[in-house]
Structure 1
Amino acid sequence: MADWHLLHFFDQRQPRKATVLRQILTNKRTGSVLFWGLRYHYLDYLNAVPRFDVKKFNDVIDELIAQKWLQSSAQGLQLTSQGQEVIATHRTRYSFVDHPELNQKFDYQLWQAILLLMVQVASEYRYHNSNYYVANQNLKAQFVIKSWLQVNTFEMLAAEISECLTQFLDQCDPAKADLFTAKLVGHTQNGLSDGQIASQLGISPLEVSWTWRDLALQLAAFIQARSNLKIGQLVQITALPGALTPTIHQTAMLFNDGKTVDQIIQIRRLRRSTIEEHLQVLAIFQPDFPYEKVLSESDLKILSRVYAEPDIDQWRYAELQQQGFEMPFLKFRLYAIMKTHGECNE
């Protein structure tokens, strides 16, 4: 059977561009991609599959269309009734993640390696075994653990990871908790592969991978939220800067200080298009963005008259000029973002 999991990202009423989905999953962050990610409710999935091969992605989409689970048109792809039925009949508790937004907060590859290694080290310590084969070969993870142990103790590592795992897994779905622990390596316990776990549970390896990743990132957030834990230092090493890059933060500081777009361009010595894209991204991720700093009352009257059509997906910048109005693209896009946030609030 074709891999149906991407159907989850499509809608029966709203046409959506597959390219936007791929770019969101692989963490492409242009203003246009993020805007359409906002429109399609994809933003939580930024960086969810950073190494998703373009050809593989396109092949999956083509197969979903061939199966008539997705319907293609000039506007994009829509979920068909058959596709909706596939989701309803094939989804399990493991099919979709609960906290995709955590992919933006932690470097999963590094955190996974650190987590697996510190669980193994703690387990072997508890059994007083100092002669064992390290199952994880990630050199950075090994260096990080060794450096941490130079200023902390094996006893502390074992106690804190044991307590955290117990508390965290107690609050999880028991079936997902069992899946999670099946992959851990410890004294006399070799962690199972995704394929082995999938075979035992009767699900796909992809569902095992996504579920384990989701729980691992939730555990990172669980540890990070407890400031008294020394192993929080290991989590902090994997922390990502978040949705806004340092250069966007610099633009945001100037904008919040009352600087105009022209002044920010002069101060930062960047192109107008770059600064305007920074402001679009700020508005996308900050629902309380001060639109009045860019959009005047006159602008709002014009925009509301030209874009009376309630379906924001159908708005086109060219309509302003067609109706005899000259206005920068930034104002058009900020107005669309503002209205989108208004829809979400409603």
Structure 2
Amino acid sequence: MEAADLLQVLDRKQPRRLRVIENLLRGRRTVSTLYWGQRYHLLPLLDANKHLDHGALTAPAQQLAASGLVTLDSEADQLLLTPTGQQRQAGAYYQPQTSADWLNLDLGAARQRLLLAVQVTSQYAHSTSRYYPLATDLVTRRVVRQWFHLEKGPQLAAALLTAMVQSLQQLPVQTAEVMTDLLTGYQHPGLTVSQVASEQQQTAWEIQLRQRDGITQIARDARQADHPLHGLLHPLWRSPVTRSAQATLYAVEQGGSLEQVAAQRHVKANTVKEHLLEAAILSPVATFPYDRLLPQRVRADFAAALNADIDSWQFAQLPEDLRTRYDFFYFRLYAIWRGRGMMDDGATHS
């Protein structure tokens, strides 16, 4: 991620911690990272760059500060856009249009399956049996092999072409071009992200955002049962909540107390709380049992003590009697509830 890319995930009013952004991109699923990722409206970028080196955003941040585009508080590890930075941010930069689904799709697996399936189908259509398949993991090769043996036939290539064209036509022209440039097929070795970035005069990160849009749009369309990639991509849609957290949430929904659920699942009570906070952040508001875990009397107690901007709330600054009555779990759950636009009339407010 270059300085120009980092600029796009910053804000003029909300100081954002560099370490949170880094951990989010690297897929560090701590409650703190998820919570602040939600507060920053950057959760779709969870696990978007799992190979990002620790500290890799420091140099881009310093470059932005030296250019007068951000103020950098090194001690607090926070960045804030300057007016000049806000103007620069408003310039030409790709704005993804499918990011609402990124958490619900295993994009890494979808990318590998799609690229290999296109290559195999293209070579098959030209009766080519000797070629070097793309380097993928064993699971991808096995799944694509199974898919191909089920789908192969004289109409496969045409059906796949038609389906992909229909998907790419729903995206900006440049994004569709990026997607096709990155594909590998018969007499088409495919370009690398760096090569496409150079051709398009954009950053590699911007090209990856375009590719994520393309893959997600194809996967969206592949949810249709008659789509040629249905069997390959449809299984990759999933809940962003981990299975362990889902199991904890289910046990709570069945009526168990936090202590009972911890004993039942053979985990610590704090682990139960972490699972529930993860589910509260990543689940649709309507599906989480806020009324059970955060009843009105608890909300009223916190509401009476917390009136400032949510980002400034600190558990340690609560009145002592409130900290004695409720531990950090309820404080954070209330912040999540309020942060998602909920109020005591039961409606969401933007």
With the shorter chain as reference, the TM-score category is 0.7 to 0.9
- Give, in angstroms, the shift of residue 101 of structure 1: 4.5
- Give, in angstroms, the shift of residue 151 of structure 1: 3.5
Match of 1:229 among 201, 213, 227: 227
Whether 2:255 is the aligned partner of 1:258: answer yes
Count of paired positions:
338
Cα root mean square deviation, aligned? 2.5
In the alignment, structure 1 segments of 5+ residues that lack a partner are: none
- 1:42-71: CA deviations, max 9, x gaps? 212211212211132222223222322221
TM-score if structure 1 supplies the norm length?
0.88
- Give, in angstroms, the shift of residue 7 of structure 1: 1.2
What corresponds to 1:284 in structure 2?
A: 281
- Give, in angstroms, the shift of residue 274 of structure 1: 0.8
- Give, in angstroms, the shift of residue 102 of structure 1: 4.1
What corresponds to 1:88 in structure 2?
A: 90
- Contact 1:183 1:193 (8 Å CA) reproduced: yes
What corresponds to 1:20 in structure 2?
A: 20
- Contact 1:10 1:79 (8 Å CA) reproduced: yes
What corresponds to 1:72 in structure 2?
A: 72
What corresponds to 1:133 in structure 2?
A: 131
Q: In the aligned structure 2, how far is the partner of 1:26 from the partner of 1:120? A: 29
- Contact 2:3 2:60 (8 Å CA) reproduced: yes
- 1:81-108: CA deviations, max 9, x gaps? 121222233x24xx34322354434443
- Give, in angstroms, the shift of residue 215 of structure 1: 0.8
* CA distance 1:144–1:154, shift in 2 (3 Å): farther
- 1:227-261: CA deviations, max 9, x gaps? 23353222145x26432111111111111112221
Matches within 5 A, 1:170-181: 170-181=169-180
- Give, in angstroms, the shift of residue 135 of structure 1: 4.6
* CA distance 1:306–1:136, shift in 2 (3 Å): same
Whether 2:123 is the aligned partner of 1:124: answer yes
What corresponds to 2:44 in structure 1?
A: 44
- Contact 1:107 1:240 (8 Å CA) reproduced: yes
- Contact 1:108 1:217 (8 Å CA) reproduced: yes
* CA distance 1:278–1:196, shift in 2 (3 Å): closer
Write the letter of the residue equivalent to 1:142: R
Q: In the aligned structure 2, how far is the partner of 1:126 from the partner of 1:240? A: 29
- Contact 2:11 2:80 (8 Å CA) reproduced: yes
Identity of aligned residues (%): 27
What corresponds to 1:196 in structure 2?
A: 195
Instruction: Tell which deviates more after alignment, 253-262 or 111-120.
Output: 111-120
In the alignment, structure 2 segments of 5+ residues that lack a partner are: 343-347
Q: Which SS does the other structure have where 1:98 is aligned? A: coil
Q: Which SS does the other structure have where 2:55 is aligned? A: helix
Q: Which SS does the other structure have where 1:55 is aligned? A: coil
> Following superposition, which runs of at least 4 residues in structure 1 exceed 6 angstroms of deviation?
none
What corresponds to 1:269 in structure 2?
A: 266
Write the letter of the residue equivalent to 1:20: V
